[in-house]
Structure 1
Amino acid sequence: MNKNGQDGEVTDLPFRAVAGAPPGAQVLALSALLDRARGHDRDAYAPMRPSFHHLISVRSGRLDCSVDFGEHTLDAGAWLWVRPGQILQFRSDLAAAGGTVVLFPSGVLDPATAKAAGVDRPALRTAPLYPRDDAPRRTLDLLVDEYGRLADLPLETHMEVVRHLLSVLLLRLAHERGGPGDDERGSEPFLRFQQAVERDFARSHRVEDYAARLGYSVRTLTRASRADAGCGAKHFIDERVLLEARRLLVHTDLATSAVGERLGFPQATAFTRFFRTRTGETPAAFRARYRNAP
Structure 2
Amino acid sequence: MMHSYADTIIPNYAFEPEGTVGNAMFRINRNDCIVNYRKSDFLVPHRKNYYFMAFVKAGSSRHWIDMKPYVTQPNTFYFTVPSQVNLKEESNPMNGAVLTFTDDFLATDQSGSLKQLPIIQNLHNGHELVLNPADVSYIDDVLEKLIVEYNTRSYMQHHMLLAQMNVLLIYLSRLYVQQFGTQQPSQERQVLKNYLSKIDKHYTKKHEVADYASLLNLSAGHLSEVVKEQSGKSAITHIHDRLVLEARRLLFHTDYSVKEIAFQLGFEDASYFNRFFKRLVQHTPVDYRTSIRKMYH
Whether 1:98 aligns to 2:91 is no
For residues 178 and 274 of structure 1, what CA distance do their matches in structure 2 show?
36
Q: Paired residues, what number?
A: 288
Q: Structure 1 stretches of 5 or more lacking a match?
A: none
Tell me whether 188-197 or 72-81 shows the greater mean CA deviation.
72-81
Q: Do 1:25 and 1:104's aligned partners in 2 also have CA atoms closer than 8 Å?
A: yes
Q: CA RMSD in A?
A: 3.0
Amino acid at match of 1:54: F
SS where residue 91 of structure 1 aligns?
A: strand
For residues 183 and 82 of structure 2, what CA distance do their matches in structure 1 show?
16
Q: Do 1:208 and 1:218's aligned partners in 2 also have CA atoms closer than 8 Å?
A: yes
Partner of 1:21: 21
Tell me whether 263-272 or 160-169 shows the greater mean CA deviation.
160-169
TM-score normalised according to structure 1 size: 0.83
Tell me whether 61-70 or 75-84 shows the greater mean CA deviation.
61-70
Identity %: 20
Q: Deviations over 1:88-111 (max 9, x none)?
A: 12333242x432221111211314
TM-score normalised according to structure 2 size: 0.83
For residues 34 and 204 of structure 1, what CA distance do their matches in structure 2 show?
42
Partner of 2:174: 175
Q: Do 1:140 and 1:169's aligned partners in 2 also have CA atoms closer than 8 Å?
A: no
Shift of 1:45: 4.8
Q: Structure 2 stretches of 5 or more lacking a match?
A: none
For residues 133 and 260 of structure 1, what CA distance do their matches in structure 2 show?
48
Pair 234,129 (structure 1): closer, same or farther in 2 beyond 3 Å:
same
Partner of 2:235: 233
Q: Do 2:42 and 2:90's aligned partners in 1 also have CA atoms closer than 8 Å?
A: no
SS where residue 62 of structure 1 aligns?
A: coil
Amino acid at match of 1:107: D
Pair 135,124 (structure 1): closer, same or farther in 2 beyond 3 Å:
closer
For residues 76 and 27 of structure 1, what CA distance do their matches in structure 2 show?
19
Q: Deviations over 1:168-209 (max 9, x none)?
A: 111221233256895795622212211221122111222232
Q: Deviations over 1:43-85 (max 9, x none)?
A: 1553220011111222123343221113333322222220012
For residues 4 and 185 of structure 2, what CA distance do their matches in structure 1 show?
36
For residues 139 and 203 of structure 2, what CA distance do their matches in structure 1 show?
37
Tell me whether 239-248 or 225-234 shows the greater mean CA deviation.
225-234
Partner of 2:144: 144
